[in-house]
């Protein structure tokens, strides 16, 4: 029996491999591997796609977030409010610049930051908020920007899982002060390796970002401040430029797949399906359901039992994320206690991400649904 993987990048390569090969070969033949026109072409195309004035490409989504904080002079003694239910990089970079992440709880429906709690967490030391458009679903940016404006805070959007997502017809990454993107291979727009970008309307900030990603360099071997080495390779830029042309089609496929899951799974008891919001457009980096815990004291979460039953039927599902960041050993020094952010903790016990990639077939989805029905029905 064929396994159904959580994502499958080889299917995509079968479709556009010839184009990717041609673009990569052109870069290899050019002899220009770092910087240059290929990178600038991608930056222009990506800025235009997002609807932001500037795009600064860099080496990863993590570096995009790090450079964003550096460019806004956020560091020691500053607090940055963010979600504990995200990939570690979101908080890691706050710590990396010497600032303190302040975790607030999430909403069960969207898995995104609970904005009422964001407002309550603002202190004299708060400098910025990092919302994460988790699994491709946009945060309510109207409400978040109003809160940020009232308190004069920066908003750095973590768009790593949401390239192409929209809030009220504006692409995420064009709404906050800065938008940070990851081109990790399994993201909606993925390179063949690491890559990232920062978008902004502020040309002064983008100029600083361009320096910071290249050791703080201003001119040849002249440095007013220190930066990092975080450039996007020309090879990746060429590949991303090809793939950007397909992103809308792939995101539409993801939306159709999510809709089909919604129909197939709604009759199954004890499943919470992802909610959609008509003000936003999710691009479904993940299709994440919740399986309610019947016995909170049980040694093994019911979700984990279902996951291994799915695996027996050849369906590989994933758990993003099994332990909320506020309870990670790496953040023990912040002093959070179990029970303090109850929704993030509940969700980390209950979530299960089903196979989701643009080439997933209806037949594969039916097998996923059948396996879940057998497990729960
Ligand atoms: C993937 C991801 C990142 C980090 O991106 P990399 O390119 O892997 O460094 C940051 N935040 C979120 C929410 C992510 O999913």
**Span from the CA of 280 to the centroid of ligand 1 (angstroms):** 21
Distance linking the first and last C-alpha atoms of the chain: 22
On whether residue 332 sits in a domain, the answer given is yes
Task: Give yes or no: residues 346 and 300 share one domain.
Answer: yes
DSSP annotation of 92: H
Say if residue 234 is in the same domain as residue 255: no
Look at the chain and report how many structural domains it folds into. Answer: 2
Which residue is associated with the tokens 């996951």?
307
145 and 204 in a single domain? The answer is yes
Using the 3D structure, point to which of 200, 224, 244 is the last residue of a domain: 244
pLDDT at residue 220, as a whole number:
87
**Model confidence pLDDT, tens digit, residues 23-41:** 999 999 999 999 999 999 9
Nearest atom (ligand 1) to Cα of 183 = 7
- pLDDT band, residue 333 (cuts 50/70/90): very high
Identify the CATH number of the domain in which residue 356 sits. Answer: 3.90.1150.10
**Both tokens of residue 344?**
């993030």
Q: What is the layout of strands, in order, in the sheet containing 54-58?
A: 54-58, 196-200, 178-182, 154-158, 126-130, 79-82, 100-103
Range of the domain at 87: 9-244
* 320 alpha-carbon distance from chain centroid: 12
Q: Is the pLDDT of residue 296 over 80?
A: no
For residues 35 and 77, membership in a common domain is answered with yes
Residue 270 binned pLDDT confidence (cut-offs 50, 70, 90): confident
Distance between CA atoms of 320 and 83, rounded to whole angstroms? 14
Distance 371 CA to ligand 1 centre (A): 30
1, part of any domain: no
Look at residue 277 in the predicted model and tell me its pLDDT: 80
Do the Cβ atoms of 68 and 96 come closer than 8 Å?
no
Rounded to the nearest angstrom, the distance between the alpha carbon of 276 and the centre of ligand 1 is 23
Q: How confident is the model at residue 1 (pLDDT cuts 50, 70, 90)?
A: low
Among 211, 244, 277, the domain boundary falls at: 244
Q: Could you report the per-residue pLDDT of 116-162, keeping only the tens digit for each? A: 999 999 999 999 999 999 999 999 999 999 999 999 999 999 999 99
Give 338's contacts (C-beta < 8 A, 6+ positions apart): 327, 345
Name which of 205, 186, 55, 195 is nearest 128 in CA terms: 205
* 208 domain-assigned: yes
Query: For the whole prediction, is pTM greater than 0.85?
Result: yes
Query: Measured from the CA of 63, which atom of ligand 1 is nearest?
Result: 9
Domain co-membership, 236 together with 288: no
Same domain for 177 and 210: yes
Where a domain ends, among 206, 226, 244? Answer: 244
Q: Clarify whether residues 213 and 329 are in a common domain.
A: no
Residues 212 and 266 in one domain: no
**Among protein residues, the one whose CA lies closest to atom 2 of ligand 1:** 160
Same domain, 44 and 22: yes
Q: What is the mean pLDDT of the chain?
A: 96
Domain containing residue 66: CATH number: 3.40.640.10
């Amino acid at each position: 029996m064929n396994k159904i993987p959580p994502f499958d990048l080889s299917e995509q390569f079968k479709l556009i491999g010839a184009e990717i090969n041609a673009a990569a070969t052109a870069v290899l033949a050019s002899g220009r591997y770092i910087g240059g026109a290929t990178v600038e072409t991608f930056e222009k195309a990506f800025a235009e796609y997002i609807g932001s004035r500037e795009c600064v490409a860099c080496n990863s989504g993590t570096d995009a977030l790090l450079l964003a904080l550096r460019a806004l002079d956020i560091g020691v003694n500053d607090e940055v409010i963010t979600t504990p239910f995200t990939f570690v990089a979101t908080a890691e970079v706050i710590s990396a610049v010497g600032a303190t992440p302040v975790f607030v709880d999430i909403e069960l429906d969207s898995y995104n930051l609970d904005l009422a709690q964001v407002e309550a967490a603002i202190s004299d030391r708060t400098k910025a908020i990092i919302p994460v458009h988790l699994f491709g679903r946009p945060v309510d940016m109207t409400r978040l920007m109003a809160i940020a404006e009232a308190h004069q805070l920066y908003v750095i959007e973590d768009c790593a899982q949401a390239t192409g997502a929209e809030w009220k017809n504006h692409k995420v990454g064009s709404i906050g002060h800065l938008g940070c993107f990851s081109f990790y291979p399994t993201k909606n727009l993925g390179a063949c390796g690491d890559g990232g970008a920062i978008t902004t309307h502020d040309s002064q900030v983008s100029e600083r970002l361009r320096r910071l990603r290249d050791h703080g360099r201003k001119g040849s071997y002249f440095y007013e401040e220190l930066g990092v080495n975080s450039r996007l390779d020309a090879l990746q830029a060429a590949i991303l430029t090809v793939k950007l042309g397909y992103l809308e089609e792939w995101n539409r496929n993801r939306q159709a797949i999510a809709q089909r899951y919604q129909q197939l799974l709604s009759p199954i008891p004890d499943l919470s399906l992802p909610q959609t919001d008509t003000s936003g457009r999710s691009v479904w980096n993940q299709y994440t359901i919740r399986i309610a815990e019947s016995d909170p004291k049980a040694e093994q979460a019911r979700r984990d039992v279902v996951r291994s039953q799915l695996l027996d039927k050849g369906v590989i599902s994933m758990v993003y994320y099994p332990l909320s960041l506020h309870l990670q050993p790496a953040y023990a020094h912040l002093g959070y206690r179990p029970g303090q952010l109850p929704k993030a903790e509940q969700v980390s016990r209950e979530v299960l991400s089903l196979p989701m990639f643009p080439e997933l077939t209806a037949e594969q989805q039916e097998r996923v649904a059948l396996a879940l029905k057998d497990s729960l029905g």
